[in-house]
Amino acid sequence: MGLKLPCVLLLTAALLAGCAGAPTESGSQPAPDQSPPPPAQSAAASGPDAPVESFLVDDPDSPYPMAVESWTLDMDGDGEDELVELRAEKAYFGNESEPEKLFEGINGIRPYTLVVTKGETVYELPLGWEDSGDYISNPYYFSPEDSERTGACWTTDRSGNSVLALWFDTISAGGAGRIEVYAAAFQGNEPVLLPVPEYGVEAVLDEETMLTQVTVPETGYTETLDLNRWLTNYDKQMKEWNPDATPGPIYSEDGTLEWPAAPGQIDDFHYAESAEEGIVLRQYLYGTAHMDGMGDLVTTLSWEGGQPVVLKQEFEWYY
């Protein structure tokens, strides 16, 4: 990453028009709760004609503040403080009826950039640009005040170096039922984004005992899920909603188990929180249907030399 002068990017009308919000992925109990979307905002206000200067202002009363969060601390461990800011870009659009004007977007969506100022040098780490060239495919974020699962924490890696972890809610704000997670730290003489991997699962079911061996292939961690126990809890919940419900196991004519299925499916992150070292991340496991939530894969993640290290991994089953 090269050094960059202080600057603020303007999200152009063409870019905004070419990007659609993430599709909503429906989920039901016992998937993570889906919070209602934020309340509607007022109509867009017109902007100045033929703008020359940046539209962004450090105004805490603006619905699109330039600095969403800021911290002053010794991030690189050299004894001198750095200024670390999470900045948001305002979004503007035009229309054919008034081509000479720009209007400020009012849907709450804007890309974020992590800005680290070290002495006279400013580093910019745009979030969501990786592997997408000049096109922001993901993420567009809603304001933190409208997003219950958005958060940030300062933690450490294996060597005790400072790491900033950020997670952004796309669930409460009408997104695709997931959160985006980032981590940043100094490597060498400059700040970089650290990898935050998501993990997969493989499941093997013994239909006779209804025990399922569930394994994380990337780490080799494995546990046994008792489907009979899960089914007992599932039946209890169903009867609370409908006393006449008889879900039970479903078998085909030849005696093959059709439902429930082993939890061989896993979602992206849906929850994050700080840990004494690193961060704790949760991914949702399910069987044939997304509504058949069977548990969470809970990973405590840190870093060593800029690479991810799993400190702890476990399944929390829904029973």
Q: What is the pLDDT of residues 31-46, one digit of tens each?
A: 444 333 333 333 333 3
Other Cβ atoms closer than 10 A to 105: 18
Q: What is the pLDDT of residues 203-245, one digit of tens each?
A: 999 999 999 999 999 999 999 999 999 999 998 888 888 888 8
229: part of which helix (H) or strand (E)? helix 227-241
Phi, psi of 8 (to 5 degrees): -130, 130
Bridge-based pairing of strands 67-73 and 112-118 is unpaired
Instruction: Name the residue ranges covered by the structural domains of the chain.
Output: 13-194, 202-317
Q: What is the pLDDT of residues 138-194, one digit of tens each?
A: 444 455 555 667 889 999 999 999 999 999 876 554 445 678 899 999 998 999 999
Read off the DSSP letter of residue 91.
B
Q: What is the pLDDT of residues 90-130, one digit of tens each?
A: 656 667 787 777 666 555 455 688 999 999 999 989 887 55
Looking at the whole model, is its pTM more than 0.95? no
C-alpha closest to that of 175 among 211, 152, 141: 141
Statement: residue 293 has pLDDT above 80: yes
> Exposure of 7 by Cβ count < 10 A (0-12 exposed, 13-18 middle, 19+ buried)?
exposed
- Residue 122 and residue 127: Cα distance in Å, rounded? 16
- Residue 124 and residue 7: Cα distance in Å, rounded? 9
Other Cβ atoms closer than 10 A to 144: 19
R_g of the chain computed on alpha carbons: 23
Burial pattern 18-27, b for ≥16 Cβ within 10 A else e, equals: ebeebeebeb
136-to-10, 19, 94, 142 alpha-carbon distances in Å: 13, 8, 19, 15
C-alpha closest to that of 191 among 311, 103, 306: 306
Read off the DSSP letter of residue 4.
B
